Amino acid sequence: MQKSEPDDPKGLIAESFRIDGITQSDCRTIFLDWALSLPADADPDRAVPRLLSRHQDKPHDHPMQTVMREALAEPSRTGRRGGRAGRFSQS
């Protein structure tokens, strides 16, 4: 295993690129484990771009590349609110 890096302290992201036949589902699970294992003062919004840059030499279509790019994307909004506010308009 590589020396621990601040953005990937357990080496999970780096290891995912070495797993043959890894699926996008596997990468999502690894990414969640990575996110949960970050120190409390770490900023994932800054760590993910650095990790993408660090692993830019890996295949662009690798599932972990896709998962990390998706993590940077803004969540889509449905425009609908849940609960009572979604069922009744305020007058």
Dump pLDDT digits (tens) for 36-58: 999 999 999 999 999 999 999 99
Helices (H) and strands (E) in the chain, counts: 5, 0
Which amino acid would we find at residue 50?
A: R
pLDDT above 90 as % of the chain: 74
Three-state DSSP class for residue 5: strand
Which residue in this structure is represented by tokens 């992201």? 13
Q: How confident is the model at residue 18 (pLDDT cuts 50, 70, 90)?
A: very high
Cα dist. 14→24, 25, 52, 59, 78 in Å?
A: 15, 16, 11, 13, 34
Asked whether the predicted pLDDT for residue 88 surpasses 90, the reply is no
